[in-house]
Amino acid sequence: MDSLYFSLLALSLIAFLPLSSSTYRQMSGGSSLSVENSDDVLMSPNGTFSAGFYPVGNNAYAFAIWFSKPTCLVLQHCTVVWMANRSNPVNGRRSKLLLLQTGNLILTDAGQFNVWATGTASLSTVRLQLNETGNLVLSSSDGTTLWQSFDSPTDTLLPLQPLTRHASLVSQITKGNYSSGFYKFFFNDDNVLRLLYDGPEVSSIYWPDVWLLSWQVGRFSSTGRRNAQMDSLGSFNSSDSLGFRSTDYGADGIQRRLTIDYDGNLRLYSREEREKTWVVSWEALAQPCRIHGLCGENSMCSYSPSNGRKCSCLEGYKVRNQSDWSYGCVPEFDSSIIASRDFTFIRIRNAEFFGYDYGVSENKTLKECETECLQKVDCKGFQYKFIGSRGFYDCYPKALLRNGHRPPNFDGDVYIKLPKAYVTLKKKELSKKTMSLGCPPNTSINLERSYAVSQDNGILKFMMWFACALGVVEIISIFLVWLFLNRGRGDENVAKEGYFLAATGFKRMTFYELKVATKNFSQEIGRGGAGIVYKGMLTDGRVVAVKRLNEANQGEAEFLAEVNTIGKLNHMHLIDMLGFCAEKKHRLLVYEYMEHGSLAEKLESHQLDWQKRYDIALGSAKGLAYLHDECLEWILHCDVKPQNILLDSGYQPKVSDFGLSELRDRGKLSSYSFSKIRGTRGYMAPEWVFNRPITSKVDVYSYGIVTLELVTGKSPRKGIQSLEGGQVEEMDLVTWVKEKRKGSETKETWIEGIVDPTLEDKYDKKKMGILVEVALECVQEDRDARPTMTQVVERLLRPNQPLIRKY
Ligand SMILES: *[C@@H]1O[C@H](CO)[C@@H](O)[C@H](O)[C@H]1NC(C)=O
Ligand SMILES: *[C@@H]1O[C@H](CO)[C@@H](O)[C@H](O)[C@H]1NC(C)=O
Ligand SMILES: *[C@@H]1O[C@H](CO)[C@@H](O)[C@H](O)[C@H]1NC(C)=O
Ligand SMILES: *[C@@H]1O[C@H](CO)[C@@H](O)[C@H](O)[C@H]1NC(C)=O
Ligand SMILES: *[C@@H]1O[C@H](CO)[C@@H](O)[C@H](O)[C@H]1NC(C)=O
Ligand SMILES: *[C@@H]1O[C@H](CO)[C@@H](O)[C@H](O)[C@H]1NC(C)=O
Ligand SMILES: *[C@@H]1O[C@H](CO)[C@@H](O)[C@H](O)[C@H]1NC(C)=O
Ligand SMILES: *[C@@H]1O[C@H](CO)[C@@H](O)[C@H](O)[C@H]1NC(C)=O
């Protein structure tokens, strides 16, 4: 009994011993690190970085460098900055990193194969050391550097690490898989830094925009040099004149990294030393669907801040490989149908498919463009784009349909060519689909791939059993420690999951900072249901509007998640959020300051001429259409009114006050019920009163009322006195306009009768007619009869086209 007890004790002592040993500061010739000993780690002097074996799969490891400060309880949560031969992980047994006396550094797999080596040699003694900057340096005793990890980056560039002509950043393949992926950040042949999608089938540059010459985007390459670097304060400079700064530029004690992510975007991340969350402090592309490659041929990319990117097949195509959308979609119809050579076209509104054009033909009618595509056997469809400045359409027949997406406000359509026989066959289904023409189905991309388990080299069953038992004990104690560390930190998971986007200018601010900026909240410029708005000035001189929300009635995590979503919305007709503050009970939002205040003020003082009014109607419709997004319904505004439409120095409207409580996707739409009525009397859709389901059409209704107010100059909040049959009657704005319409013979006269008298007759009669017509359609009682905001925009943009009724 005793002897058994002692042998168990001895065994557990042996098992625990490595845990108490210390990590290495440097390695000298003849020593090695073993994958089997989790403590075989090389650490930088102050512990910011560690290098060792990092688990990348089931029994699969890679030799890597990672951030080890702040401490990550589980190695998998540490952020990796470099890996040796990352596409070939090594076995979890008997794999080693060996530093030979001869000066070669090699990585062996399962004690048999060399997977990676520096190929260096030295006559004097060598040592391997991890610098505080994250650079793993192999040097000889005479001080020469034989090899350093900074010279061969993987997907991350650290501060002070140069990017040269010999190096490039290559993304990892998917979220959980560290293998080399298809996205590359590098100096192109023209010495300009670019982002490239280099897929198995095609490759294309997507940043900066290839149709712009490098000097148009401010890149100069004449020096012939290729060198870029980020300094420790967060400023990136390159020999091609690309320069940017992180939003926290200048702050000390912040960890930073520039990474090309598996989704193809290049991002600069920052993190305060003690925080767990990385914050995006700069990124190359604000619209992720501009990145090539994720959705393959014949598919469309869509994006919503809450759900990320999604791919979907075009009408008539089906996905080739459900587990990897980059393979794209293939025709659903068989080739015998194609042989009949009888084709028709299906329209996808506001879509762009970049590249693979046969050329461009200017000023074409739709018919001419169709003919052009029909004449080319391999033409898959065409882009039909309105050129606003010249007043006509251009036609781009396409050989391939790739890079499909819907940029906000894109004024063009794509028509895809399909066999007539197929379309007839599918007519029933297609006609059902026209309600959401071209909207992608809600299939999301599965980026996770399973990993093939490496072969196990037969081990003693007893050892296995023992290791398992130990593992359980360890897991339990780790879990207990974790529980202990996480007491009272409810938002931990949220923080770990995501990062908070801070595209240029968007950042978290302190309460003190905003108190100073607003001179202790002294200059009130507005007041609404959610809170009071103050004018202020930031330390960098920017004038801002600071909205102080009434009470913190939601947790910090929830608030951060919402702000994160709103902060990502980016549209010229939506107010820009510059930052936010969440400190104790305080919740503040910082917006750009709008010179001309709100539409309400300007309407009251009759300062708007016809052109401004039309632009305001169009601009706010565009802003709302973007919020609603035809396919995703990101955000309902729920309180569209002149007080929430702000005007910039050029009287361009920007919709404000959106997204503070409702962020949702289409899937939840029908089942969603609002806990309390929102909105403002006079602008509220009847659904609110009759307790019907709330959809984006409530905003359409409110928009219609605002438009009527723009036209008539009369506020819907006051009754209108009307002299009817000798009697003074009070009625609301909509009824009044409808009464006027009923009472007149011609359209011209009744519109004259309602137009704001201060406009006199200085307006475009035709456009005015359309504006009133659209407004009246928007304020219909039946929500399904109202147009969508996208349809409103289309109607106002092209007043000469007849209305195509789809709703
Ligand atoms: C390590 O930390 C100490 C104390 O914080 C600091 O003085 C020193 O500069 C750091 N060394 C490096 C290489 O960063
Ligand atoms: C990575 O490992 C594979 C498989 O052992 C090998 O063929 C390849 O040459 C290695 N690559 C590098 C860069 O060492
Ligand atoms: C590594 O760090 C040491 C001390 O911080 C410095 O002297 C040395 O130049 C660094 N080596 C490289 C190759 O960066
Ligand atoms: C980057 O370029 C700017 C302007 O040319 C210069 O002021 C700054 O010092 C440079 N920073 C670095 C790290 O080279
Ligand atoms: C689909 O893609 C996965 C991952 O790339 C691959 O393993 C699989 O073989 C593919 N399937 C087909 C049918 O091409
Ligand atoms: C476009 O084409 C039409 C018909 O061919 C022609 O009348 C019109 O002048 C053209 N517009 C421009 C701007 O060239
Ligand atoms: C990572 O992706 C590569 C290439 O597609 C694949 O061969 C490998 O099995 C994947 N590894 C893991 C861990 O999923
Ligand atoms: C799409 O969303 C609807 C509604 O949420 C759901 O019923 C349906 O199963 C989803 N389809 C797919 C393919 O996920």
> Which runs of consecutive H residues, i.e. helices, occur in 597-673?
599-604, 610-628
In whole angstroms, give the CA distance from residue 195 to residue 202: 14
The pLDDT value recorded for residue 708 is 94
Every domain range in the chain assigned CATH 2.90.10.10: 16-152, 153-286
User: Does 63 sit in the ligand 2 pocket, CB within 6 Å?
Assistant: no
How far is ligand 1, taken at its centre, from the CA of residue 44, in Å?
11
Query: In sequence order, what are the residues at sequence separation of 6 or more whose Cβ sits closer than 8 angstroms to the Cβ of residue 636?
Result: 627, 628, 662, 664, 694, 695, 696, 698, 699
In whole angstroms, give the CA distance from residue 403 to residue 299: 8
How far is ligand 7, taken at its centre, from the CA of residue 128, in Å?
30
According to CATH, the superfamily of the domain at 596-807 is Transferase(Phosphotransferase) domain 1 (1.10.510.10)
The pLDDT value recorded for residue 778 is 95
**Helices 733-742 and 765-778: angle between axes, nearest 10 degrees:** 120
The pLDDT value recorded for residue 245 is 86
Residue whose CA is closest, atom 14 of ligand 4?
A: 237
CATH of 16-152 among 3.30.565.10, 1.10.3720.10, 2.90.10.10, 2.30.110.10? 2.90.10.10
| CATH fold of 299-430 | Hepatocyte Growth Factor (3.50.4)
DSSP for 150-214?
A: GGS-SSEE-TT--EETT--EEEESSSS--SEEEEEEEE-TTS-EEEEEE-SS-EEEEES-TTS-G
The pLDDT value recorded for residue 49 is 95
The pLDDT value recorded for residue 216 is 62
Query: In sequence order, what are the residues at sequence separation of 6 or more whose Cβ sits closer than 8 angstroms to the Cβ of residue 499?
Result: 269, 277, 278, 279, 280
Question: What ligand is nearest to the CA atom of residue 312?
Answer: 8
Q: Model confidence over 286-317: pLDDT tens digits?
A: 778 888 888 889 999 887 766 677 888 888 88
Say whether 698 sits in a helix, a strand or coil: helix
The pLDDT value recorded for residue 560 is 72
In whole angstroms, give the CA distance from residue 126 to residue 104: 9
User: Does 232 sit in the ligand 4 pocket, CB within 6 Å?
Assistant: no
| CATH fold of 153-286 | Agglutinin, subunit A (2.90.10)
Q: Is 784 noted as a catalytic residue in this protein?
A: no
Question: What ligand is nearest to the CA atom of residue 59?
Answer: 7
- Among 795, 39, 666, 624, residue whose Cα is nearest residue 302: 666
Every domain range in the chain assigned CATH 3.50.4.10: 299-430
Pocket of ligand 5 (CB under 6 A): 321, 323-324, 449
The residue from 639, 657, 699, 756 that is catalytic is 639
Residues in the chain with pLDDT < 70? 1-22, 210-218, 221-222, 305-307, 337-339, 409, 427-506, 528-529, 551-555, 557-558, 561, 564-565, 568, 630-634, 659-678, 723-726, 799-807
How far is ligand 8, taken at its centre, from the CA of residue 442, in Å?
6
Atom in ligand 2 nearest the alpha carbon of residue 87: 1
Q: What is the number of residues in the chain? A: 807
Enter the DSSP assignment of 327: G
Every domain range in the chain assigned CATH 1.10.510.10: 596-807
The answer to whether 57 and 451 have CB atoms below 8 angstroms apart is yes
The pLDDT value recorded for residue 678 is 66
Atom in ligand 5 nearest the alpha carbon of residue 322: 1
The pLDDT value recorded for residue 495 is 29
What's the CA angle centered on 208, arms 207 and 209, to 5 degrees? 95
User: Does 22 sit in the ligand 1 pocket, CB within 6 Å?
Assistant: no
Every domain range in the chain assigned CATH 3.30.200.20: 497-593
As its CATH architecture, domain 497-593 has 2-Layer Sandwich (3.30)
Q: Model confidence over 728-740: pLDDT tens digits?
A: 777 888 988 888 8
Residue to mutate, 129, 130, 132, 274, ligand 1, most ligand atoms under 8 Å from C-beta: 132
How far is ligand 6, taken at its centre, from the CA of residue 195, in Å?
39
The answer to whether 78 and 12 have CB atoms below 8 angstroms apart is no
